[in-house]
Structure 1
Amino acid sequence: MLTYLAKCPGSSCTGVNANSLSWFKIDQSGLISGTVGNGVWGSGLMIQQNNSWTSTIPSTVPAGAYLIRFETIALHSMPAQFYPECAQLQITGGGTREPTSSELVKFPGAYKASDPGVTVDLYTQQAQTQTQYIIPGPPLYGSGLTPTQPSQPPASTAAPPASSPPVQTVAPSPGTVNQYGQCGGIGYSGPTGCVAPFTCNKVNDYYSQCL
């Protein structure tokens, strides 16, 4: 599950060629827990939520006219299947942080047929023990990651179902997990302490995040 933005050069995106724009990723969710061959995925979470997905636009994104690209990548077939949809939107208020050059990509061109997140085979013996999946495309906007580092979705990546408990916040504690990093969840065995001033927030049973 991936969400991109691209700023249009004028006051509107009407008539703009999307191929000429530079896109940056604001949201993503890949393998949440378990293994590649038998795990919990962002797409599964989307299905659980009545086939709906919510992405939050970071408050640091500058105001302006944008195209938004929402995309699902299906890995059950080889090669992978891509299902994008686009729409226009106007961001008001906004911040001042422009995406960096490493965060910007073009469509087509953002993915290669050889990307590990595209060539992964869910049905191999290796997939039954593999616990890391590298989401295709550039690093998340504002994440500070390189394109080859795996990362997890930012806060409010997926809106919880109406029956889910409210998001819980764990008291701050010294730690090593940076902002937007995973700090908890079922099946997670990594560090749980967030660097100051961030705290570990429960997004769902399988994923908690430093915010």
Structure 2
Amino acid sequence: MMKMLRAMREPLKYVQGRDALLQFHKEMEYMGKRWLFVCSNSGYKACHEKLEKSFGTSDDYRRYEIFGGISSNGEIKKMMAIVEEDKIDTVVAVGGGSAVDTAKATAYYTGKHIVILPTVAATDAPCTGLSVIYNDDHSFDRYLFYPTNPDAVMVDTTIIANAPVKFLIAGMGDALGTYFEGRASIRTESSSLEGTGITRAGQALARLCYD
């Protein structure tokens, strides 16, 4: 019997720090000149000013769209149409899990780069290679798995720290649980959602997070 493969997946680039969004353009400009920011209401308010400052005198095209609050098929199609009409190079998610899942699906279906700017710590969506997709009536539709994880994730720790405390607490709880989930998977030779086993390197990161 063939032994189960182990695999570790992560974003191609990860940037984190206080007021990191002020360096957004400097860190991400290699991805193109035309940007679509898929934002939650709170994400737009928290990030727009810093993002605009990061572009400085650049003449890059930027479009900010407030999405409908859920990663539905209709919202994804709406954002895909904008990507095509405005000849967007890179889709950027600004907000929590639903905004991130919407942006990831939009980028995947249009073949564009994807950058994630999370505004809360309470979701796995920024670094993972899947989206949870809903129907337009808010009923669950499917899990959409991607062949790769996001091109880049940028975490502005000032924004994370200023988010409602409940989101930080939820994120801490989720992070603590990851270590035990990974340990159980390794001990039982069980596969992850992506069908492969957990690597020792991945488990070491989970333990570091727990500690």
TM class, shorter-length: under 0.3
What TM-score do the two structures reach when normalised by structure 1? 0.28
TM-score (norm 2): 0.28
